[in-house]
C-alpha cells in the first residue's frame, strides 16, 4: 500500500457507531464498580459513617449486604472493578481522543466523543476523590 493510500485510510471520518460503542464500553466498564462497591456502600448506610472509619475497615464488606450467590458475584465484581475500571476508563478515553483528534468527526460525532471522554475523566476524578480512595481501602480490607 502506498503512502497516500495509507493517509486516506487513516483520515476516514469517525461514525456514530464508534460513539455508541465507546458509550456502551464505558457503561460496561463502570457497571461492576457500581454493583460491587457503590450500591453496597449506600445500601448499608455507610454514607452516614465518617470516611476514615469506612477506609479503616471497621465495616467488612463481606459481612454486609448483599448475601448469597448474587452477593458473592457482586463482591467479586467489586474487587475486580478496583483494578479493571480505571484501566478500562483509560482505554475508552484513549479511543475517544483518537477519534476526536486523529480523525475527522462531524460536529455531532465530535460532541459524542467529547462526552464519552468527559465521562471517563469524571470516573477517574471520582477514583481520585477522598470518597473514591476510602472505598478502595474499604474493599481491599
Question: For the chain, how many structural domains are there in total?
Answer: 1
Record the pTM: 0.82
pLDDT of residue 111: 96
Domain, as residue range, for 112: 26-140
Confidence of residue 57 (pLDDT cuts 50, 70, 90): confident
Residue 12 lies in a domain: no
Q: Residue 49 is placed in which grid cell?
A: 459513617
CA nearest neighbour of 119 among 92, 83, 84? 92
pLDDT digits (tens, 9 = 90+) for 82-138: 999 999 999 999 999 999 998 889 999 999 999 999 999 999 999 999 999 999 988
Residue 53 lies in a domain: yes
Residue 17 lies in a domain: no
Residue 66 lies in a domain: yes
Residue 30 lies in a domain: yes
pLDDT of residue 7: 46
Residue 8 lies in a domain: no
Amino acid at each position: 500500500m502506498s503512502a497516500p493510500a495509507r493517509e486516506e485510510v487513516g483520515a476516514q471520518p469517525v461514525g456514530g457507531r464508534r460513539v455508541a460503542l465507546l458509550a456502551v464500553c464505558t457503561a460496561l466498564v463502570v457497571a461492576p464498580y457500581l454493583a460491587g462497591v457503590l450500591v453496597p456502600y449506600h445500601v448499608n448506610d455507610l454514607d452516614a459513617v465518617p470516611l476514615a472509619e469506612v477506609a479503616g475497615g471497621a465495616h467488612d464488606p463481606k459481612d454486609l449486604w448483599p448475601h448469597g450467590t448474587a452477593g458473592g458475584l457482586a463482591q467479586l465484581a467489586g474487587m475486580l472493578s478496583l483494578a479493571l475500571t480505571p484501566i478500562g476508563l483509560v482505554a475508552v478515553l484513549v479511543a475517544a481522543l483518537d477519534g476526536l483528534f486523529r480523525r475527522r468527526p462531524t460536529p455531532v460525532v465530535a460532541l459524542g466523543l467529547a462526552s464519552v471522554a468527559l465521562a471517563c475523566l469524571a470516573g477517574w476524578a471520582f477514583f481520585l476523590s477522598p470518597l473514591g480512595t476510602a472505598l478502595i481501602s474499604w474493599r481491599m480490607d
